[in-house]
């Protein structure tokens, strides 16, 4: 029997890409690839040392070429065959795209994109390195198209609208600690079910946990997404 096509929003975070070998945003000692977060992910760090910031993201871009999408990414894409799916990702990689997902909102920007440091609307595709002196079409220095700490999240309103209209919300690979993205769960007022896939989270870690609507799956992203897929297809 064919199941009803539902509106599904998937909020994905670093944990889903970690299973492909991409380092998570913040490791155990509070650093990102041995750098203080604010040195490489803030406008202050950019102003202080743009060459360091460019080199950091050049290395992240090179790393991205060495990894592949994993089981969890593939399952997210397969859900498109059964339901109307929008991916809302905190990740800056392109692994959801490579898996075949079509409707993707990148909340925190994209590694394979560069923008003018003066005008965030002027963007170009970027598969290689960005160097000091590389200019955007408006004549200003190119910078990574990444939303840094302290900057507005341009697509947050669009993401909130998607979540507010979804039938099912799936949260995978995110600890729900990084705001404002973590606050999106509060918009899921019409969602009949909310699946949260994380090997370490406990109900007490989730704000306003409601076990009538929320199902916490303490599994890896790949295994957990398979369980969700089986439940809703």
Least confident of 19-28, 171-180, 223-232: 19-28
pLDDT (tens digit, 9 = 90+) per residue, 153-203?
999 999 999 999 999 999 999 888 777 777 899 999 999 999 999 999 898
On whether the pTM is more than 0.85, the answer is yes
Diameter over CA atoms, the chain: 60
What is the number of other CB atoms lying within 10 angstroms of the CB of residue 219?
16
| pLDDT tens-place string over residues 93-112 | 999 999 999 999 999 999 99
Both tokens of 180, joined, read 């404002």
DSSP state, 211? T
Q: What number is the average pLDDT over the span 120-148?
A: 97
pLDDT at residue 152 in the model: 93
How much is the pLDDT for 27? 53
Per-residue pLDDT tens for 5-16? 999 999 999 999
Residue-level pLDDT at 26: 56
Q: Residue 1: which pLDDT band, with cuts at 50, 70 and 90?
A: very low
Residue 231 to residue 202: CA distance in whole angstroms: 21
Q: pLDDT value at position 151?
A: 93
pLDDT of residue 93: 97
Q: According to the model, what pLDDT value does residue 172 have?
A: 97
Looking at domain 24-66+109-146, its CATH class is: alpha beta
| Mean pLDDT, rounded, for 18-45 | 78
Which residues are known to be catalytic? 108
Contact of 88 with 105, CB cutoff 8 Å: yes
The pLDDT assigned to 86 comes to 98
For all residues of the chain together, what is the average pLDDT? 92
- Confidence at residue 35, expressed as pLDDT on a 0 to 100 scale: 80
**Nearest by Cα to 168 from 198, 142, 199, 193:** 193
Helix, strand, coil % over all residues of the chain, rounded to 5 = 35, 25, 45
Model pLDDT for residues 53-86, shown as the tens digit of each residue: 999 999 999 999 999 999 999 999 999 999 999 9
The predicted structure's pLDDT at residue 212:
83
Alpha-carbon span 40 to 63, nearest angstrom:
16
Burial environment of residue 173 by CB neighbours within 10 A (0 to 12, 13 to 18, 19 or more):
buried
Axis-axis angle for helices 221-232, 71-78 (nearest 10): 20
| Mean pLDDT on 226-231 | 97
pLDDT at 211 over 80: no
Residue spans of the domains in the chain: they are 1-22+69-108+154-233, 24-66+109-146
DSSP string of 21-80, one letter each residue: TPPPSS-TTSEETTEEHHHHSBHHHHHH-HHHHHHHHHHHHHHHTT----HHHHHHHHGG
Q: Which of the listed CATH numbers 3.40.50.720, 3.40.50.11240, 3.40.50.1220, 3.30.70.890 matches domain 1-22+69-108+154-233?
A: 3.40.50.1220
Domains 1-22+69-108+154-233 and 24-66+109-146 share a fold: no
Q: Which of 20-34, 113-127, 159-173, 184-198 has the lowest mean pLDDT?
A: 20-34
pLDDT at 114: 98
């Amino acid at each position: 029997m064919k199941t009803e096509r539902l509106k599904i929003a998937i909020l994905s975070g670093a944990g889903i890409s970690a299973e492909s070998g991409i380092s998570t945003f913040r490791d155990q000692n509070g650093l990102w690839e041995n750098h203080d977060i604010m040195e490489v992910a803030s406008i202050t760090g950019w102003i202080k040392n743009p060459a360091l910031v460019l080199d950091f993201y050049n290395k992240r871009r090179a790393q991205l070429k060495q990894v592949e999408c994993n089981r969890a990414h593939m399952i997210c894409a397969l859900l498109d065959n059964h339901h109307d799916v929008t991916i809302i990702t905190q990740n800056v990689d392109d692994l959801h795209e490579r898996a075949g997902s079509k409707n993707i909102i990148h909340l925190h920007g994209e590694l394979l994109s560069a923008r003018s440091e003066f005008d965030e609307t002027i963007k170009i595709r970027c598969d290689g390195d960005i160097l000091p002196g590389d200019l955007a079409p408006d004549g200003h220095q190119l910078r990574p198209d990444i939303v840094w700490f302290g900057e507005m999240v341009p697509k947050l309103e669009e993401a909130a609208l998607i979540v507010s209209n979804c039938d099912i919300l799936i949260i995978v690979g995110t600890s729900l600690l990084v705001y404002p993205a973590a606050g999106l769960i509060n918009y899921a007022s019409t969602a009949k079910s909310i699946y949260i896939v994380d090997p370490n989270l406990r109900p007490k870690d989730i704000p306003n946990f409601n076990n009538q609507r929320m199902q916490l799956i303490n599994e890896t992203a790949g295994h957990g997404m398979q369980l969700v897929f089986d439940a809703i297809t």
